[in-house]
Amino acid sequence: MNRRGRHVVARRAALAVGILLPAMLTACGHEGAGPGAASAGLPAVVKVVSINAQTGQVSFAGIPATRGAQVAVDEITRTKFLGDTTIEVKYLDSTGTPQTAAGLAAQAVASRQYSAILGGILTTEAFTVAPIAQKGKVPVIFTQSNGDGVVIGDYTFRATASFTRYYDVMGTYLRNKGVKTIALLYNSDVASYQELATLIGSWTAKFGISVVADKSVVSSTQDFTAPIASLVSAKPDAVAKFLLGTANATALQQLRQAGFDGPVIATNSDSGGNIAGAGSAGAGAAWPTDFSSAQTDRVATDFTAAYKAKFNGAAPNPYAAEGYDAVWWLARAIKVAGRATPADIQRGLVFVAKMGFTGATGPITFDGNEFTLRTPKVVAWDGRAERLVKP
């Protein structure tokens, strides 16, 4: 074979590798997660910083997200997905406070030690972290942080589909139950909950469901007796309840004590046992989600088993699954890029987003730099456990 012929063969081989690698990474599950030599361009360790609430009011979500990330890091190391390269995550506690999150992000960017940031749960935190990461050109992958204005540039990413893009499934759910009127109770200081309240205001035209009462409370509220009395007096067919953490159990108990026995719709803040304290009063609460430990698809069941094994039998919730998928998105980006500078990872994240992949939350598709959710799951609490139901 002459020199020209050898160059043609080499170019075709290189093209074939370029095609096969994305296909391998985007196949179902974590195919491609077996042993393999690291790219010559990868360091021995890729350093990442996680800025997430481990204490404070939203630790109910921040801790599982961190644990999900830890399960993913363990798998990436064990399977040698990146060859001999490992991902090392420094876990920092934002306490659920925007100012703390911003300070930690600024320090991380200024240190130039980290190739990427795993962001937090609250939209208000993301509002402060996103511009810091974008200006410093360090990719940040948020989970939750559902409000508009989080993904603001080419270095900001979100491993969660926004509530407002799929919450209409609950309009279908209620319409199928014959619901015509609804009352709202929500945290006024949680941006994504305000957006959901606005969305439900559009359900008259979409589903024939009208809002007959609307009460907002701050997220530190623990006694909902007064606003609930006002809502129940409007005689709604259903109640929408958007609150943080274990306050959801209290609100459910007080709703039933006030005589309301209709359906209650919520967010995945009800998941992971947050409403277990309501006992039978919680029966009938339902919410849409991207993940439930009741799922039976292979990646989800494998993740659930690994999570339970690592954390003393605790079942993962959506926050854990999203933390897990965020790290696998990062790992795929590193593998595609073959290097681990912030700029290389940014390009890798964009490439993987164009291709999609399957994670714990199922087949993942993207709208630009963030997850979308084409087929949300609806979960109901039966008084003892979560179960999947049809919209």
Report pLDDT digits (tens) over 216-275: 999 999 999 999 999 999 999 999 999 998 899 999 999 999 999 999 999 988 987 889
Percent of the chain with pLDDT over 70: 90
In a domain? residue 222: yes
pLDDT of residue 40 exceeding 80: no
> In terms of residue numbers, what domain contains 48?
3-161+296-372
- Residues 268 and 311 both lie in one domain: no
- Residues 195 and 263 both lie in one domain: yes
Give the Cα-Cα-Cα angle 367, 371, 376 (nearest 5 degrees).
Answer: 110
pLDDT, position 235: 98
Total count of domains within the chain: 2
Q: Which of 232, 256, 289 is the last residue of a domain?
A: 289
Residue range 327-372, pLDDT digits in tens: 999 999 999 999 999 999 999 999 999 999 999 999 999 999 999 9
- Quote the strand ranges of the chain, DSSP E: 45-52, 86-93, 116-118, 140-142, 156-158, 181-187, 210-217, 238-242, 264-265, 285-289, 357-359, 362-367, 370-372, 377-381, 386-389
Q: How confident is the model at residue 38 (pLDDT cuts 50, 70, 90)?
A: low
pLDDT, position 293: 84
Secondary element (H or E) of residue 177: none
What is the average pLDDT value for the chain, to the nearest integer? 90
pLDDT, position 18: 42
Across 86-102, average pLDDT: 97
Residues 6+ apart with CB under 8 A from 43: 85, 340
- Residues 147 and 177 both lie in one domain: no
pLDDT, position 41: 87
Give the Cα-Cα-Cα angle 290, 210, 183 (nearest 5 degrees).
Answer: 70
Q: How confident is the model at residue 384 (pLDDT cuts 50, 70, 90)?
A: confident
In a domain? residue 389: no
Residue range 9-28, pLDDT digits in tens: 333 433 333 434 444 443 33
Residue range 233-243, pLDDT digits in tens: 999 999 999 99
- Residues 214 and 256 both lie in one domain: yes
We report the CATH number of the domain holding residue 277 as: 3.40.50.2300
Q: Which of 256, 289, 322 is the last residue of a domain?
A: 289
In a domain? residue 132: yes
Residue range 105-133, pLDDT digits in tens: 999 999 999 999 999 899 999 999 999 99
In a domain? residue 333: yes
- Residues 276 and 319 both lie in one domain: no
pLDDT of residue 4 exceeding 70: no
Q: How confident is the model at residue 34 (pLDDT cuts 50, 70, 90)?
A: very low
* DSSP single-letter state for residue 146: -
Q: Which of 264, 289, 314 is the last residue of a domain?
A: 289
Q: How confident is the model at residue 39 (pLDDT cuts 50, 70, 90)?
A: low
